[in-house]
Structure 1
Amino acid sequence: MRKQLFPLALGGLGIGTTEFVIMGLLPDVAKDIDISIPSAGHLISAYALGVVIGAPILVALSAKFSPKHILITLMALFTIFNFLSSIAPDYYTLMLTRFLSGLPHGAFFGVGTVVASKLAKEGKAAQAIASMFTGLTLANLAMVPLVTFIGHHLHWRYAFGIVSLIGIATMLFLYFWMPKQKALRTVTFKEELEFFKTIKAWHILTIVSIGFGGLFAWFSYIAPLLIHVSNFEEGSVSYLMIVAGAGMVVGNIFGGYLADKKDPIKVSILLLSLLVTSLIIVFFFSESKLLSIILTFICGALAMSLGSPINMVMLKSAKHSEMLGAAFLQAAFNVSNTLGAFFGGIPLVFGLGYNYPALVGAGMAIFGVALCILFLKRYNM
């Protein structure tokens, strides 16, 4: 990884940690502030809502400034709001600070995606973007389990305190290592928005919102799948999540490499097709412990391998609107998270087994494949 890209990866580590660590600490939070676990679950939704709302708005407000200053400012907001989460006195205050913590998330990755592509060597843009998302994958592999352990055995508030420290470190590295660049906006905001009046823009966002929701349909219910279908001990799930995290690290690197070598929309078709196949195998063969471990790694890898290719599709499509496009893409990823969890949960409402969310996920991913093929035929990138 190039020195200039390290601050982006470090920021991704902090963002990934705060986004996912709350899931493992929900019982601790619920007990401490005297609420139910379902109510505590709304803290996850509040963060996701912040991402969706903040991504386009903050990019729109800041695009005329230097990317270095934008990134530092976004990380300052991220750090402050996570610190406030660590000292929130009650449920409603914590809900507000979680929402505010999500606001800089999409904007940071949106700006960072364009910055990484600009800093990349010729033909290495997707791999540079993948370098930024390395922090997100490492968060799932190591940081989230570590911070969850600390939060559970000491206090859940320490988790957000640690995230705040990562935010401070990110600001320092951005200040010293991120080169100065001119403002990325080359047209007016009104002209930037013209791209989002086209079917092409919403075609890409729909691919992400629905097609990528397939992996979240699987991942949202992976713990009960492993416990009740694969028959792993409950205490083993945290170790199996590390397997998924390792797959994400490998997949992120692989996806970036492929997207630089081949047409990124064709890469997306390939990877989504592999995801469909893997999720169908999960549905039929999750009773096998060995296969479950292998499939957890493979599905984790495919989950993150899709990030760089679809970002490259957006960057190539959104001429003069790259930063706003990348920010909207982050919002779409959070929409896919929500849709995947919602549709994946429908079979469970009707009493079907915990392997059925994977089948729903395969259906969503098939829809994504179809949308990608239609995009390729229509726009011939």
Structure 2
Amino acid sequence: MSGLSPARVRLALLALALGGFGIGTTEFVAMGLIENLARDLLPGLYADRPTEAIAQAGWLITAYALGVVVGAPTIAALSARFPRKQLLLWLLAAFTLATVLSAVLPTFELVLVARFVAGLPHGAYFGIATLVAASLMGEGKRGRGVALVLSGLTIANVIGVPLITLLGQNAGWRVAYLVVASIFALTFVAVALAVPFQAGDRTATLRRELTAFTRPQVWLALLTGAVGFGGFFAVYSYVGPVITKVTMQGDGFIPIALVVIGLGMTVGNLAGGRAADHNVMGTIFVCFGLFAISLAGFALFAQTTVGLLVSLFVVGGAASALSPAVQSRLMDVAGDSQTLAAAANHAALNIGNSLGAYLGGVTIAAGLGYLSPTWVGLALCVPGVALALASVWLQRRRPLTSNSI
């Protein structure tokens, strides 16, 4: 985007990344507090059958993810014509309200609904924010622009999630979610002040946006992301119980492990963005290979503190590097439906979130142990690689045409 000073561009990118920080915090803080949520919202079940209560509390993670799946394509398709900055502000207002409701509603069922509602603006925010960031960065730096927005989400896992997890353990999970709501309120102000006006796509129509779903390459990219992140969330959703029941560390060690995951995610996201600018599909294949190795390491060595931390770092890094690569791939294959495709990526990733949390909970509830979700993640790597291979094969038969942001 011409006419903006480098300092103004940096401030705009920082404001967009702050939104990612809030989203990462609201999405991931449940992982570290899942036992607290189960104990408070399902007290009878937790007293009698704590394993089942923890598995059921995983539904809160699934509900948020399903909200993303529903909201991302719906909001993006209906709003592609609207000015991007104004739309971002409406989405941030919705985040703030839904997160406050998550904190104050009294029962498990109502909090479940609130988490679903909180997930609705997630994909649309990231989809629109990454398009704005790519435009601000300019040609040849698209992957880095996407990664900068997503860096807010990964940095949340280094700073926000561990600190708010610690707060939730001491002051209660409801206080933790109120702090998250304040992050969204701050982001609203930052975006209002720092992000320049960007018109929407005035030629966009609902019908044109939905044509993205007629492209086989779009489906292959979406499914690749969903399967890859399904494996990640199968592990991440239940990392708290693994730490306390397998590694035999106390609750106070959970924030430390979350910092390690977040560091891995931050490094992986930035590396994946740079790699995607050079070779998108090559980055996807490398990520799946590293991911499979790290999951195997987690399953074999999580009983030891060092093994746990090293494998969690690599798990987070490999999974996060996949995200900007899949996002860039969608921009390549979506044609004119850029807004919908960018948002649909986050719907796909949260299908993986929902699938991973659900399947991991099923294996735990079946009595297979807290490490059993790791084997779910490994199993999901196989179709992930197969889908990426299918995309390469199809591209050789039907070369892609170039398109712009």
**Closer/same/farther in 2, CA of residues 26 and 170 from structure 1, 3 Å limit:** same
The one-character-per-residue Cα deviations of 1:200-248 (angstroms, maximum 9, x if unpaired) are 2211121122233222223233334444544545542331221111111
Scaled by the length of structure 1, what TM-score is found?
0.91
1:188 corresponds to: 205
Query: Which stretch of structure 1 is more off in the superposition, 126-135 or 210-219?
Result: 210-219
What CA distance in whole angstroms lies between the structure 1 residues aligned with 2:228 and 2:161? Answer: 26
Q: Within 5 Å, which residues of 2 pair with 1:319-358?
A: 319-345=335-361, 347-348=363-364, 351-358=367-374
Query: Which stretch of structure 1 is more off in the superposition, 38-47 or 300-309?
Result: 38-47
**Displacement after TM superposition at 1:333 (Å):** 0.8
User: Which amino acid in 1 is paired with 2:104?
Assistant: I
Q: Within 5 Å, which residues of 2 pair with 1:211-360?
A: 211-260=228-277, 262-345=278-361, 347-348=363-364, 351-360=367-376
What CA distance in whole angstroms lies between the structure 2 residues aligned with 1:350 and 1:155? Answer: 29
User: Which amino acid in 2 is paired with 1:10?
Assistant: L
**Closer/same/farther in 2, CA of residues 54 and 258 from structure 1, 3 Å limit:** same
What CA distance in whole angstroms lies between the structure 2 residues aligned with 1:259 and 1:111? Answer: 19
1:133 aligned to which of 150, 154, 158: 150
1:378 aligned to which of 394, 397, 400: 394
What CA distance in whole angstroms lies between the structure 2 residues aligned with 1:353 and 1:32? Answer: 23
Scaled by the length of structure 2, what TM-score is found?
0.86
Cα RMSD for the two superposed structures: 2.4
What CA distance in whole angstroms lies between the structure 2 residues aligned with 1:342 and 1:40? Answer: 10
User: Which amino acid in 2 is paired with 1:341?
Assistant: A
Is the contact between residue 63 and residue 184 of structure 1 (CA under 8 Å) also seen in structure 2? yes
What CA distance in whole angstroms lies between the structure 2 residues aligned with 1:288 and 1:29? Answer: 26
User: Which amino acid in 2 is paired with 1:317?
Assistant: V
User: Which amino acid in 1 is paired with 2:111?
Assistant: L
2:19 corresponds to: 11
The list of structure 1 runs, each at least 4 consecutive aligned residues, that deviate by more than 6 angstroms after superposition, is none
1:157 corresponds to: 174
1:369 corresponds to: 385
2:3 corresponds to: none
The one-character-per-residue Cα deviations of 1:297-326 (angstroms, maximum 9, x if unpaired) are 111111211111100000111011111012
Q: Secondary structure at the match of 1:179?
A: coil
**Displacement after TM superposition at 1:166 (Å):** 1.3
User: Which amino acid in 2 is paired with 1:184?
Assistant: D
**Closer/same/farther in 2, CA of residues 83 and 284 from structure 1, 3 Å limit:** closer
Matched, 1:56 2:73: yes
Among the aligned pairs, what percent are the same residue?
Answer: 39
Is the contact between residue 99 and residue 115 of structure 2 (CA under 8 Å) also seen in structure 1? yes
Q: Secondary structure at the match of 2:201?
A: coil
Is the contact between residue 133 and residue 145 of structure 2 (CA under 8 Å) also seen in structure 1? yes
What CA distance in whole angstroms lies between the structure 1 residues aligned with 2:151 and 2:326? Answer: 16
What CA distance in whole angstroms lies between the structure 1 residues aligned with 2:99 and 2:252? Answer: 29
Is the contact between residue 67 and residue 184 of structure 1 (CA under 8 Å) also seen in structure 2? no
What CA distance in whole angstroms lies between the structure 2 residues aligned with 1:219 and 1:28? Answer: 16
The one-character-per-residue Cα deviations of 1:249-295 (angstroms, maximum 9, x if unpaired) are 111111111111x2212211111111112222333344444333211
**Displacement after TM superposition at 1:15 (Å):** 1.1
| Structure 2 alignment gaps of length 5 or more | 1-8, 47-52, 401-405
Is the contact between residue 50 and residue 101 of structure 1 (CA under 8 Å) also seen in structure 2? yes
2:128 corresponds to: 111
User: Which amino acid in 1 is paired with 2:181?
Assistant: S
Give the total of aligned pairs. 380
Is the contact between residue 311 and residue 329 of structure 1 (CA under 8 Å) also seen in structure 2? yes
| Structure 1 alignment gaps of length 5 or more | none
What CA distance in whole angstroms lies between the structure 2 residues aligned with 1:284 and 1:92? Answer: 36
Matched, 1:167 2:184: yes
The one-character-per-residue Cα deviations of 1:319-372 (angstroms, maximum 9, x if unpaired) are 111110121111111111122233345554554454443233122113211211
User: Which amino acid in 2 is paired with 1:20?
Assistant: F
Is the contact between residue 166 and residue 252 of structure 2 (CA under 8 Å) also seen in structure 1? no
Is the contact between residue 292 and residue 378 of structure 2 (CA under 8 Å) also seen in structure 1? yes
